[in-house]
């Protein structure tokens, strides 16, 4: 082994979800429609990691376009009985130091919770979206899977910061991801309505986590707040609409999968997309085009844009009294394989815990199988709170 | 006849609207100017080209529009192989300019055309059909366009043409667009109604015409079709989209499928709203070239004739030279004469046109100043100008080499004049006997003796004086 490789492996290996581009490596986003597509460039985050000496060890399977619960519906991956997501599993087994993935509708957060590792969906605009297979520009965000908060901090310090190639990227060059700020006296609330959406053992787990924080001087209170259901509906409308629009470019004309049989351009489109997308993506496309259609726009999409503003205000109001919100990530402790025809409903229901962070661009940290959310740019508070609990666990 | 116009104009920017690929005119071969962004590959994000905003604002200022300080982009969804993302980025809710107005001068008088809005958008690619195969050329994809939408203020095809020509010369002189063939495309909305009626008739839209000639023919055909339908009940008019067939000179209804699409417009979350603050707007205003109308007014005030103004407005290069010469301190009317009479005359002699004029404004200004301050006379000035245009000579050096300087000292002139009087004793005698014309002959002889370089006013004065004395 020469000095060069020692130096590189000192930094560690990183797995990259298949919704993120690595130059020359097939990028499928878990979908047949992108079969054979090799990108000409790497995502900004990938380039930054490589420049710092990290090794990209490979691509990890994701559910088609990251739309599913926890990576269960990849065209390429193997079917598994108990869901958990490939990247989260590699991190929890210690095969890779960390992984990066795109949080479109909570899938990486659920994967992290199921595997018992950490995932941070940072504040919108802090990590460049250049080079992710985009579905919903207004709320998707790249984040980091790692074994603990220090691992999250290490990778976030590398990938976060302004990128001129992304028009939505914020101007700051770096952000604070401290994991050790004092938490005594910080106030955390548990939202009653979200607890009620989870099964008994999940509820008890969240309460126990709160107890752990309390022992460290954190004030933990239960509150009632009814905006999470509304936020979920709004995000599902915006997310499906934007996804429907963004995947319309996969038409068999330019790259990726093309149907073998067609007699004209319409059949080329229809056959390619019929064969290329899975049932869940098709449901999302149908739902998304419906909410954008002329007669439904005002009642659905337009309304959701307004709801987004109102929810953001209400969340800010809630956060006047608290530093973080503590919630479940999934309604149950494990998911079993299920029929894809139930997927749309199931994802909709489970996203009630995760949609808020996508809708209003706030950070959400999954750690110890719970979720901590806070105001924009409050990552260091979330990481420090989770850090206390993690160190107790050790 | 009531007509409203939607005009798409390709902007003269170095790069495309959302990526750094060269603009359409930079391409030599199909798909020369294409990158992952403008070919719709996943992972690339649009980044706004600032220059597009500046040119759109400049166009808005020229058309007296309100400039909206907060402007956003929307996505328009439809499937077509020349549209790589299956959506076009355009502006629906917050266009960059609104409420403009432009005054047309036509044979039948002046008419105000109100501009509803100007918005920015990206162009689509091009399909090339060869035999049974179709090929896609993405060079034009994402080339920046502005679309100028008027109110239904036109009342004749003639007005439409005056308007389009006006846009063309404005945008060319403003550096907004070259407006060459195909870079300016129109959709025409047309209806007819009985004279005196204020209600609009059934409206049809004729899509995507690229030549002014086609637009004129299409309007005439379509208006007649409407009139026939109403007066002679030849057919029932329906609101629809039609296309003009250049060969037959007729319009045809397009298939419903192509026209009744729901474009499912919605805001583009990849592009942040563009905010035009005071400082930026002032910067754009300061850089804005003088609009054609303002320019014409300026020339008029300087005393330049209407015919000459027309010449200048239509010869952008010449008017630019004039403006430069004026900025170098020459009188506008005088300089216009030099350009439109002297330069044009010299070019014509060489079988060229005014539009071919290649002269450095500094050289022309130098010649005009030499004449104005009496260093050379008008005739020598023209001689120098000819040399500059024909051989690219340097005016000052040429003047020196050919001894054209008019500033000869008085004693030299007087001695030359004495000689002339001696040699032309008869003419002097004639003058004294009341033959006024003889003075002109003496003047000519003096000028000839001085090789035509002298200041004519000085010679006239001295001659007058000498004749009075003898």
Nearest CA in chain B to A138: B269
Residue A383 in domain: yes
pLDDT of res. B296: 80
Name the band, by pLDDT with cuts 50, 70 and 90, for residue B256: low
Lowest mean pLDDT among B36-40, B236-240, B259-263: B259-263
Residue B13 buriedness (CB in 10 A; 0-12 / 13-18 / 19+): buried
Burial of A228 from C-beta contacts in 10 A (0-12 / 13-18 / 19+): buried
Q: What distances in angstroms separate CA A222 from CA A190, A194, A211, A385, B345, one per listed residue?
A: 5, 11, 12, 17, 93
Distance CA(B370)–CA(B437), nearest Å, equals 30
In a domain, A262, yes or no: no
Whether A306 has a pLDDT exceeding 80, the answer reads yes
Q: Would you call A249 an interface residue with chain B, using a CB distance cutoff of 8 Å?
A: yes
Rg (CA), chain A: 20
CA distance B241 to chain A (A): 19
Burial tier of B216 (Cβ tally within 10 Å: 0-12, 13-18, 19+): middle
**Lowest-confidence pick of A96-110, A311-325, B256-270, B271-285:** B256-270
| A37-49 pLDDT per residue, tens | 999 999 999 999 9
Which residue is associated with the tokens 């950070």? A363
Determine the residue among A100, A130, A253 to mutate to test chain B binding: the one whose Cβ has the most chain B Cβ atoms within 10 Å.
Answer: A253
Integer angstrom CA distances of residue B397 from B198, B370, B383, B394: 70, 12, 13, 5
A136, pLDDT greater than 50: yes
Answer whether residue A224 is part of any domain: yes
Q: Is the dihedral of CA B75, B76, B80, B83 positive or negative?
A: negative
% of chain B at pLDDT higher than 70: 98
Q: How far is CA B11 from CA B49, B55, B92, in A?
A: 12, 7, 19
**pLDDT-derived band of residue A374, with 50, 70 and 90 as boundaries?**
very high
Inform me whether the pLDDT recorded for A4 exceeds 50.
no
Phi, psi of A220 (to 5 degrees): -120, 125
Nearest chain B Cα distance for residue A6, angstroms = 32
Question: Does A194 fall in a domain?
Answer: yes
CB within 8 A of B60, min separation 6: which ones? B66, B67, B96, B97, B100, B118
- Tokens 């869901």, residue? A83
Give the pLDDT of residue B197.
87
| Among A144-148, B85-89, B96-100, B129-133, the least confident range | B129-133
**Closest partner CB to A301 (pick from B41, B81, B266):** B266
Q: Encoding tokens for residue A230? A: 């509304």
Contacts of A241 in chain B (CB under 8 A): 266
What is the per-residue DSSP string for B406-423? ----HHHHHHHHHHHHHH
The pLDDT, as a whole number, for residue B276 is 96
- Rounded to an integer, the average pLDDT of A288-301 is 94
C-alpha pair distances (Å), B322 with each of B167, B300, B338, B362: 22, 14, 10, 11
Residue A192: predicted pLDDT = 96
What is the domain extent for residue A198? 3-230+303-393
**Coil, helix or strand at residue B106:** strand
CA distance A211 to B166: 76
Does residue A278 lie within any of the structural domains? no
Give dist(CA A352, CA A105) in Å, integer: 10
Residue A290 domain flag: no
Q: Which residue has the tokens 């004279």?
A: B195
Listed by number, the residues of chain A in 121-160 with a beta carbon closer than 8 Å to a beta carbon of chain B are 129-134, 136-138
Angle between helices B438-449 and B456-469 (to 10 degrees): 130
Question: What CATH number does the domain containing A117 carry?
Answer: 3.90.1300.10
Q: What is the DSSP letter of B331?
A: -
- When CB atoms are compared, the residue of B36, B42, B77 closest to A245 is B77
Residue of B nearest to A19 (CA): B43
How buried is residue B254: exposed, middle or buried, by Cβ count under 10 Å (0-12/13-18/19+)? middle
Report the range of poorest mean pLDDT among A10-19, B250-259, B266-275, B278-287.
B250-259
Which pLDDT band holds residue B291 (cuts at 50, 70, 90)?
A: low
**A345 is a domain residue:** yes
Specify the residue for token string 């301190």.
Answer: B329
Instruction: Choose, out of B124, B269, B271, the residue to mutate when testing the contact with A (most A CBs < 10 Å).
Output: B269
Domains, in order of start, for chain B: 2-279 (no CATH), 290-401 (no CATH), 410-469 (1.10.10.410)
Q: Residue A372 domain-assigned? A: yes
Kind plus residue range of the DSSP H or E element containing A89 = helix A86-93
Q: How many domains does chain A have?
A: 1
Closest-CA residue of chain B to A265: B81
Tokens found for residue B63: 């058309």
pTM for the structure as a whole: 0.81
């Amino acid at each position: 082994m020469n000095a060069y490789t020692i130096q590189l492996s000192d930094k560690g290996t990183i797995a990259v979800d298949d919704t993120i581009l690595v130059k020359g490596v097939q990028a499928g986003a878990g979908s047949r429609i992108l079969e054979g597509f090799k990108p000409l460039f790497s995502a900004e985050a990938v380039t930054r990691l490589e420049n710092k000496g990290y090794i990209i060890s490979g691509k990890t399977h994701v559910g088609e376009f990251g739309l599913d619960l926890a990576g269960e519906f990849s065209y390429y991956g193997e079917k598994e009985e108990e869901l958990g997501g490939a990247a989260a599993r590699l991190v929890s087994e210690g095969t890779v130091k960390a992984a990066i993935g795109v949080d479109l509708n909570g899938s990486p957060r659920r994967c992290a919770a199921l595997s018992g590792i950490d995932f941070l969906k940072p504040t919108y605009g802090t990590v460049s979206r250049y080079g992710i297979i985009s579905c919903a520009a207004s709320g998707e965000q790249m984040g980091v899977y790692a074994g603990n908060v220090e691992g999250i901090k290490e990778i976030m310090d590398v990938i976060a910061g302004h990128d001129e190639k992304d028009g939505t990227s914020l101007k700051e060059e770096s952000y604070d991801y401290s994991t050790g700020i004092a938490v005594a006296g910080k106030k955390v609330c548990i939202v009653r309505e979200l607890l009620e959406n989870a099964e008994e053992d999940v509820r008890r787990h969240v309460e126990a986590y709160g107890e752990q924080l309390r022992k460290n001087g954190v004030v933990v209170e239960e509150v009632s707040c009814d905006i999470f259901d509304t936020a979920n509906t709004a995000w599902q409308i915006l997310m499906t609409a934007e996804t429907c629009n963004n995947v319309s470019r996969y038409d068999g004309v330019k790259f990726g999968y093309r149907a073998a049989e067609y007699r004209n351009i319409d059949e080329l489109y229809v056959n390619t997309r019929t064969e290329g997308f899975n049932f869940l993506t098709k449901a999302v496309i149908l739902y998304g085009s419906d909410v954008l259609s002329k007669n439904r726009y005002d009642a659905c999409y337009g309304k959701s844009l307004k709801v987004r503003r109102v929810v953001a205000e209400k969340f800010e109001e809630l956060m006047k009294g608290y530093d973080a919100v503590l919630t479940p990530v999934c309604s149950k402790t494990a998911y079993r394989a299920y029929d894809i025809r139930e997927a749309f409903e199931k994802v909709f229901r489970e996203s009630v815990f995760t949609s808020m962070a996508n809708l209003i661009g706030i950070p959400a940290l999954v750690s110890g199988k719970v979720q901590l959310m806070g105001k924009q740019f409050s990552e260091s508070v979330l990481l420090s709170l989770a850090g206390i609990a993690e160190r107790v666990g050790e | 006849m009531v007509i409203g116009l939607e005009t798409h104009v390709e902007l003269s920017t170095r790069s495309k609207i959302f990526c750094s690929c060269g603009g359409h005119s930079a391409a030599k071969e199909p798909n020369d100017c294409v990158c992952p962004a403008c070919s719709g590959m996943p992972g690339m994000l649009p980044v706004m080209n600032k220059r597009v905003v500046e040119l759109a604002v400049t166009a808005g200022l020229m058309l007296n529009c309100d400039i909206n300080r907060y402007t956003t982009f929307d996505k328009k969804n439809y499937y077509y192989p020349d549209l790589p993302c299956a959506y076009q980025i355009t502006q629906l809710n917050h266009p960059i300019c609104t409420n403009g107005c432009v005054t047309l001068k036509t044979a039948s008088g002046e008419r105000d055309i109100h501009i509803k809005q100007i918005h920015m958008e990206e162009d689509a690619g091009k399909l090339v059909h060869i035999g049974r195969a179709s090929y896609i050329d993405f060079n034009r994809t994402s080339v920046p366009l502005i679309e100028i939408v008027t109110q239904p203020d036109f009342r004749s095809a003639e007005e439409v043409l005056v308007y389009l020509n006006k846009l063309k010369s404005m945008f060319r002189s403003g550096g907004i667009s070259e407006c060459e063939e195909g870079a300016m495309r129109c959709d025409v909305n047309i209806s007819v109604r009985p004279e005196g009626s204020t209600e609009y008739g059934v409206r049809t839209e004729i899509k995507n015409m690229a030549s002014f000639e086609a637009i004129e023919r299409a309007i005439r055909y379509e208006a007649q079709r409407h009139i026939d339908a109403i007066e002679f009940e030849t057919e029932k008019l329906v609101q629809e989209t039609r296309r003009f067939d250049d060969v037959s000179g007729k319009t045809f209804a397009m298939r419903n499928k192509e026209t009744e699409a729901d474009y499912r417009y919605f805001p583009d979350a990849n592009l942040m709203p563009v905010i035009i603050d005071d400082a930026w707007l002032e910067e754009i205003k300061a850089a804005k070239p003088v609009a054609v109308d303002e320019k014409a007014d300026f020339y008029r005030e300087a005393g330049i004739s209407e015919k000459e103004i027309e010449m200048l407005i239509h010869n952008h290069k010449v008017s630019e030279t004039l403006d430069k010469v004026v900025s170098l301190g020459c009188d506008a009317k005088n300089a216009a004469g030099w350009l439109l009479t002297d330069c044009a005359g010299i070019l014509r002699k060489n079988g060229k046109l005014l539009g071919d004029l290649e002269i450095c404004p500094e050289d022309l200004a130098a010649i005009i100043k030499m004449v104005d301050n009496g260093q050379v006379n008008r005739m020598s000035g023209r001689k120098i100008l000819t040399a500059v245009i024909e051989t690219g000579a340097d005016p000052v050096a040429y003047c020196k080499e050919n001894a054209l300087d008019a500033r000869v000292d008085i004693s030299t002139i007087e001695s030359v004049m004495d000689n002339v009087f001696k040699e032309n004793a008869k003419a002097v005698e004639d003058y004294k006997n009341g033959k006024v014309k003889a003075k002109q002959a003496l003047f000519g002889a003096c000028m000839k003796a001085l090789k035509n370089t002298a200041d004519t006013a000085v010679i006239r004065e001295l001659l007058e004086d000498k004749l009075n004395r003898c």
